[in-house]
Amino acid sequence: MYRTVFAFLVLALAAAVATPRRGCSTPLSVEEFEDLYCNSTLVFKGRRTYSSSAVSRDRIGRWLIFGYSDFDADQVFKGSPEDPHDISVDRIWSQAEHRGQCRRHGFPDRADTFLVFASGTGPYQVETCRHSFPWDNCVPESFKSSLPLDC
């Protein structure tokens, strides 16, 4: 019985550590949001519908994490995705370049809706360290009300 209780506690602790908290892992100023907007090809508000990742190592053993997420956009503020209900974004985290700068997880914040700044033509790419912006907890109201911006 004690083993069962211990195993349950270990699993509960592991789930608590692995579950991101609601909040804002990347707080930015309105000016920083404006810069991200103007430097992006595609800006949208949407729900993440799918995520996956792959892990590998480079020639000298440093971690590389490739993340992939699909979104269903509620609103597109900039750009014209082929299908706004199926937007794919990629992210690469490299231990050599990003260790200590940001989390290795893609979109680490637990949220229903994100504001996404992406570049490219599809699949789109998001910045490695500045990409997870929960709409309700992270995006300033003054920035929301100014969308879409004229750059």
Q: Write the pLDDT tens digit of every residue in 48-95.
A: 999 898 889 889 888 888 889 999 999 999 999 999 999 999 988 777
Which CATH number is associated with domain 2-146?
2.40.50.120
**Burial grade of 82 (CB within 10 A; 0-12, 13-18, 19 or more):** exposed
Q: What is the pTM of this model?
A: 0.76
Domain limits, the chain: 2-146
What is the tens place of the pLDDT at every residue in 88-103?
999 887 777 766 666 6
